[in-house]
Amino acid sequence: MPKIDDNSSALFWLGLIVAVGLIFLFAVAFVVRQFKRCPSNRVLVVFGKIGGAKAAKCIHGGGTFVVPLIQDYAYLSLDPMVIDIPLTGALSQNNIRVNVPSTFTVGISTDPVLMNNAAERLLGLREDQIREQAQDIILGQLRLVIATLTIEEINRDREKFMMLINENVAQEINKIGLTLINVNIRDITDESGYIEAIGKRAAAEAIQRAKVEVAQQERDGATGEAIAMRERTVKVSAEQATAIEGQKIAEQRQRVAVAALEAQAVKGEAEAKREREIAIAQRDAEVVAARKQAEQEQRIRVAEAEALATTGENTSRATIAESNAKLAEIAAEAKRRSEVAAAEASQKILLAQREQELARLSKEQLAAQEIEKRRIEIAADAEAEKVRREAIGQADAIRAKYEAEAAGVRQVLEAKADGYRKLMSACAENPQIAPTLLLIEKLPQIVSEQVKAISNLKIDKITVWDSGSPKLGTCGSGGGGSTANFLSGLIGSLPPMHELAQQAGIELPGVLGTVRKAKPEDDDHAGGTSKPKPKGE
């Protein structure tokens, strides 16, 4: 029994060890299987839940562990892709359509940012689909670059053309994770033959320059030869003159030597003289003939050079005229096409400008109306403030005016009251004198007012008291009276004075007497006071 227990325990532990080993081997195999390595010509893209804000993690070279269930992986190939761009009919800056067939070599970039762009936009696409997207982008950018350049700039400055293509195309394809490796422009042509005409014109100009240079070299050669012949003729003439001079010297010596023998040598001297003259004539003739022959050869060569130059010039002119005619035809056709394109472009531009002008006018009018509204509001506020301030100023002025007038009236009244108090003080013994004095003071004003009151009245009858005897007369009568004495005149004047004082509402002092009331039966004037009867009634 104990042995059986030991064997069971050993088997248990053995099975446990084997199970643990199998689990370990399974875990190692699983880890090895989930650890993905990236080849050098590919980009490993791990997507799923990778942490952070990125949608995928791109690895070039090395490897990484892919967590099962929550992560997955795929590869992007780094192999270059060659894309043919059959660009035709691209419109240049001077409205001439050109054909620019080219080949672009692109590939997925290993830059971290561009790899992420490629993982977001190209992962899962086939190579032909990627090539199609890149081709569309390259075609658009190539047309855009050509539209900014003229035919002359495209044909002459290829370095600038290639630089603009690299900048624009690379910038756009980088957005989908591609990088530009190489650009190959195979040929540049145009539908109207303008580039070919430019080449023919350049060739014709080169041929013309070559012919002109040949004619100039021939002319220089003929001129140099003529100069050499002239120098030779001059030198020959100089040597001949030197020879003649030596001959003369020899003859002189001979004559001196044979002076004594002249008589015996007359015949020999004559023969020697004749021979000398013949030799001189022959030499002169040879010199003239050589000179004429040199001049003839010079003229012939100069004429031949001029004829050759004229022939070359005429040929060049004919070629230039033919080239200019073809160029004019091409330019006319190009001008017609450019005018049609310009008319269409102008129509579109005018439509766009119309929309822009409508928007601008709407904006400007609304802005102007808002500004005018604000200006009117500000002006109205300013006018109201002005009116309010003017009203306040006028009210202050009126108040100040009335206050000043009230102060003046108050001072006048105070002065009058003070004068009245002093007058009453002066008349303290007989207070009834004060009203009389005031009445006397106001008599001129009262008389003036009475005169104004009766100035427009028609008076038929006037009664005058003089010396106590009234005189009657009509207006315009010449009757008059005499004064007996002052006392009788004064007494006679009391009744009218009392009547005037009664009309003014003033009580005369007692020293002037009083007028009694007349009885009804004695009253000669209805509603009037008793008066002395005038004489004659």
Report the C-alpha gap between 273 and 270 in whole angstroms: 5
Model confidence at 52: pLDDT above 90? no
> Binning pLDDT at 50, 70 and 90, where does residue 472 land?
very low
Model confidence at 478: pLDDT above 50? no
Each residue of 169-224: pLDDT tens digit? 999 999 999 999 999 988 888 877 776 667 666 677 778 777 777 877 877 887 88
Tokens of 165: 């293509």
> Binning pLDDT at 50, 70 and 90, where does residue 517 land?
low
**Global confidence as pTM:** 0.36
Q: What is the pLDDT of residue 197?
A: 67
Model confidence at 392: pLDDT above 50? yes
Q: Residue 382: phi, psi to the nearest 5?
A: -65, -40
Neighbours of 530 (CB within 10 A): 16
Q: Which residue has the tokens 């992962």?
A: 123
Model confidence at 395: pLDDT above 80? yes
Each residue of 329-377: pLDDT tens digit? 887 887 888 788 878 877 888 888 877 777 777 666 766 777 778 788 8
> Binning pLDDT at 50, 70 and 90, where does residue 488 land?
low
Model confidence at 429: pLDDT above 90? no
Q: What is the pLDDT of residue 106?
A: 94
Model confidence at 526: pLDDT above 50? no
Q: Which residue has the tokens 């060739």?
A: 203
123-127, 469-473, 482-486, 511-515, range with greatest mean pLDDT: 123-127
Does residue 360 or residue 157 have the better pLDDT? 157
Exposure letters 25-62 (e unless 16+ CB within 10 A, then b) = eeeeeeeeeeeeebeeebbbbbbeeeeeeeebbbbbee
> Binning pLDDT at 50, 70 and 90, where does residue 73 land?
confident
Report the C-alpha gap between 524 and 518 in whole angstroms: 9
Q: What is the pLDDT of residue 418?
A: 81
How much of the chain, in percent, has pLDDT values that exceed 90?
Answer: 9
